[in-house]
Amino acid sequence: MIHALLLAATAAQAAPAPVLPSDPLPADWVAVPDDELLVFTLANGKTVTVRLAPAAAPVHVANIRKLAAAHWWDAGTSVYRLQDNYVAQWGDPTEKKALPGGIVANPVPEYEQRGPTAVARLSRRDPYAEWAGYSRDGWPLAGIGASQWLPHCYGMVGVGRDMAPSTGSGAELYAVIGHGPRALDRNIAMVGRVVEGIEWLSSLPRGTGDLGFYKTPAEYSPIVSARLASDLPAATRPHFQYRATTNPRFAAWIASRENRAPPFFTVPAGGADICNAMPPVRRTP
Amino acid sequence: MIHALLLAATAAQAAPAPVLPSDPLPADWVAVPDDELLVFTLANGKTVTVRLAPAAAPVHVANIRKLAAAHWWDAGTSVYRLQDNYVAQWGDPTEKKALPGGIVANPVPEYEQRGPTAVARLSRRDPYAEWAGYSRDGWPLAGIGASQWLPHCYGMVGVGRDMAPSTGSGAELYAVIGHGPRALDRNIAMVGRVVEGIEWLSSLPRGTGDLGFYKTPAEYSPIVSARLASDLPAATRPHFQYRATTNPRFAAWIASRENRAPPFFTVPAGGADICNAMPPVRRTP
């Protein structure tokens, strides 16, 4: 792959790429609300920014916002689990730290939602659902009829929980760092997506204990703070945009993901799975 | 997830698990031939063991065996690319190191094969093919009619190449370290699967250059040797086994992957994609 991709990169630098039907217009980029952006800062100074999905899991996301407002993650929390090809998990490894007032300790399951259904869909059936596609506001979706959910794709964030009927409070979170473990769909509350910094989780040493838990606290990666962008000073507040999904340019983008183009690709697949066609999100230029 | 999985692990340690229809018999484990195991040793002493797939790409695999026999990877080669959620790539970053005699510099494309078709299949259509399943000798397969290929799943190994008609010699290899980039299926020669040590690649720092290439040689992870198990002394030769795929126990295992069990899982998916149902391979006990 090296030559081809380097050539492509070099060409892209040498001359402006031709405009494609799949290219977005400036107006296709829509601001992510500040209170949907949660910035985790690790002890090494690296940040992991999560876009929250309040529509998918309103009670769990309300808990997470309260935990951030109470600075709950600022002391005694760490990335304490790294299971290869599965998840990075963080929070309070002792599970003994008291939760702030107002937290719903065990919300009702928020694993599926009833429409509005996807505004754009992939061509082929999803192996874990009847269909896969995109919400109006830039989220990936999988669904059966009018029931839909956020799929477990790379970078998606879920709520750690105990055995059912536990749904987890939101204090323990994980991000997918391997092939999308879609069997978890509809079994766990999905609350967001890492939009920047997933590499600071995915490149951590793998835990050598059962299920990727680190054997010793010395192996943990401490978390020093978690803040909603809306609680950060304007000067340091990050801004992100999602790509609008309700226009012909996005439809052309889906087609381009399902049929990758020459010169590198010579056999188009004619389809894609949702985790290989994640809706674009970017830092606001 | 933490409580549930820890409980499961603890229970597994406390008492022998009940025998399930999906449990293999001792005779279901079949030895991987020594000349199908290629052991790469990194400068840090960690090893990455690849099972080669001569039936899928005979000329490319013959090249790789000749490169190993000539100790080609033992000097001047490194892991020089780490693209998050995509691939780790290794070989000669200068692409100037001469290849030993007898190497077919640019084999014909070995991207698809005609049967024997899969001996076991998943229930649902594969988004990148008509079907997905398993070969008699423990490989994952995707296919259209009687045409089949090795899918780009986590840990699978492919041959880096230039633009078509280049197919690559096999000197530059990559392993998938993210969500299976299935769009590469039928566009690249797949030559194997990492059966041990993928975590030594997946946890490397991500490259910050275009497409995940490291910007400086100081960031490379040098390779100090690559040997076929058949060329190693018996005392240090690793042994692996794949699980036979042609018995009712394996069929029950597929069903168990498509419908994950309580108590942690409460909603079975009814299906799985091949990258989440990779055929079991293990070190020989």
CB within 8 Å of B26: residues ≥ 6 apart: none
Output the pTM of the full model: 0.95
Is the residue at A7 inside a domain? no
Give the model's pLDDT for residue B5: 45
Please report the DSSP string for A208-242 in residue order: -SGGGB-SSGGG-EEEEEEEEGGGS-GGG---EEE
Q: DSSP state, A278?
A: P
Contact A227, A145 (CB under 8 A): no
Residues 4-63 of A with CB under 8 A from B: 4-7, 9
Give the model's pLDDT for residue B17: 79
Give the model's pLDDT for residue A14: 62
Is this prediction's ipTM beyond 0.90?
Answer: yes
Is the residue at B5 inside a domain? no
Task: Give the helix, strand, coil percentages of chain A, each rounded to 5.
Answer: 25, 25, 50
Is the residue at B58 inside a domain? yes
Is the residue at A239 inside a domain? no
Which of A179, A193, A194, A213 is the best mutation test for B, with the most CBs of B within 10 A?
Answer: A179
| Number of structural domains found in chain A | 1
Nearest CA in chain A to B207: A199
Give the model's pLDDT for residue B181: 98
Give the model's pLDDT for residue A4: 43
Give the model's pLDDT for residue A13: 57
Which of B6, B266, B269 shows the shortest C-beta gap to A164? B266
Is the residue at B251 inside a domain? yes
Give the model's pLDDT for residue A15: 73
**Closest CA–CA distance from residue A221 to any residue of chain B (Å):** 14
What residues make up the domain containing B81? 20-94+104-233+244-279
Chain B partners within 8 Å of A144 (Cβ): none
Per-residue pLDDT of chain B (285 residues; tens, 9 = 90+): 554 444 444 444 567 778 999 999 999 999 999 999 999 999 999 999 999 999 999 999 999 999 999 999 999 999 999 999 999 999 999 989 999 999 999 999 999 999 778 999 999 999 999 999 999 999 999 999 999 999 999 999 999 999 999 999 999 999 999 999 999 999 999 999 999 999 999 999 999 999 999 999 999 999 999 999 999 999 999 999 999 999 999 999 999 999 999 999 999 999 999 999 999 999 999
Give the model's pLDDT for residue B200: 98
Contact B128, B185 (CB under 8 A): yes
Short-list B65, B87, B33, B53, CA closest to B171:
B65
Give the model's pLDDT for residue B102: 95
CB within 8 Å of A129: residues ≥ 6 apart: A142, A143, A144, A151, A185
Put simply, the answer to whether A266 touches B161 (Cβ < 8 Å) is: no
- What CATH number is given to the structural domain containing B66? 2.40.100.10
Residue A7's H or E segment, with its range, is helix A2-14
Give the model's pLDDT for residue A210: 97
Is the residue at B285 inside a domain? no
Which of B6, B211, B263 shows the shortest C-beta gap to A5? B211
**Closest CA–CA distance from residue B107 to any residue of chain A (Å):** 15
Per-residue pLDDT of chain A (285 residues; tens, 9 = 90+): 554 444 444 444 567 778 999 999 999 999 999 999 999 999 999 999 999 999 999 999 999 999 999 999 999 999 999 999 999 999 999 989 999 999 999 999 999 999 778 999 999 999 999 999 999 999 999 999 999 999 999 999 999 999 989 999 999 999 999 999 999 999 999 999 999 999 999 999 999 999 999 999 999 999 999 999 999 999 999 999 999 999 999 999 999 999 999 999 999 999 999 999 999 999 999
Is the residue at B217 inside a domain? yes
Which of B111, B154, B263 shows the shortest C-beta gap to A178? B154
Short-list B41, B29, B25, B31, CA closest to B75:
B41
Q: CA B16, B17, B20, B24 torsion: positive or negative?
A: negative
Chain B partners within 8 Å of A154 (Cβ): 85, 178-179
Is the residue at B11 inside a domain? no
Chain A partners within 8 Å of B173 (Cβ): none
User: Residue B213 to residues A131, A176, B78, B206, B217: CA-CA distances in angstroms?
Assistant: 35, 23, 12, 8, 10
